[in-house]
Amino acid sequence: MAVWGTNFVVIRLGLDDLPPLFFATLRFFFVVFPLAFFLKRPPVPWRHLAAYGVLIGAGQFGVLYYAMTSHISPGLASLVVQSQVFFTVGLSMWLMRERVRGYQVIALLLAIAGIGVIIAHTDGATTPLGLGLVLIAALCWACGNVIAKSSGEVDILAYVVWGSLFSVPPLLAASLIFEGPQAIAAGLARSDGQTLAVVLWQSVGNTLFGYGAWGWLLARHPAAVVAPMALLVPVFGMGASALLLGEPMQGWKLAAAALVIGGLALNLVWPLVRRRA
């Protein structure tokens, strides 16, 4: 959770050198190569991998990286993108006819209230455009979750790696079209050892270690024990942004975090408490 949470600060550092779409391209390129040579393709249809790769690569991270160039702070980005949980629940209810529970409605209202607090305090660091883009990124993440869920039980790390094969082409094409070869060349010229470390943090840290450790834990411990730990991602994200980048933590921002994380916690923890009761 610390790696996934602090990654938003790392993204911000990488965007100082690289154009956002090309930065995302490099992230997924180094996910595919060399891991695809060592991890067997999961036994799922190619269309699932393609849909997942496009949604997560171009949809989630391409949009998220662009939003973080100058439209939203890393701390708030780490918080708002967690709204993917509610998008995932909504899509599951719509596509798979899952029933709406009372606690899910309350959890969603709490999260919406938190987003409303952020909307009321958009400023130079966080704009309505940035907030909207991160919500779109969260929706793409949720769609990717639904695709992965429909694939059944698979090795999640292998699934992410082979899905990333379909993330690279659309991201590279978008970078060439919207950013241009000159911006890419200028970004590479500015790059140094820190830039390489940032890109490797994205691919090796977030993917190889992050998804590998997550899958390892879920395979050895009950999901009820492991899943709630995901609530720490925005805590680490906001904390790291405040400590390392000096992002101010005003009262309204903490209140928004409390509402969103409270909604996430209710949605995740209430079924576990009810089951034990």
Counting residues of the chain whose pLDDT is more than 90, the rounded percentage is 73
What is the C-alpha to C-alpha distance for residues 93 and 86, in angstroms, rounded to an integer? 11
Question: What is 175-187 written as a DSSP string?
Answer: IIIIIHHHHHHHH
DSSP summary character for residue 101: P
Per-residue pLDDT band for 161 (boundaries 50, 70, 90) equals very high
CB atoms within 10 A of CB 189: 8
Residue type, 137: A
Environment class of residue 235 by beta-carbon count within 10 Å: exposed (0-12), middle (13-18) or buried (19+)?
middle
pLDDT in tens, 70-115: 999 999 999 999 999 899 888 888 887 767 788 888 999 999 999 9
What is the mean pLDDT of the segment spanning 270-274? 82
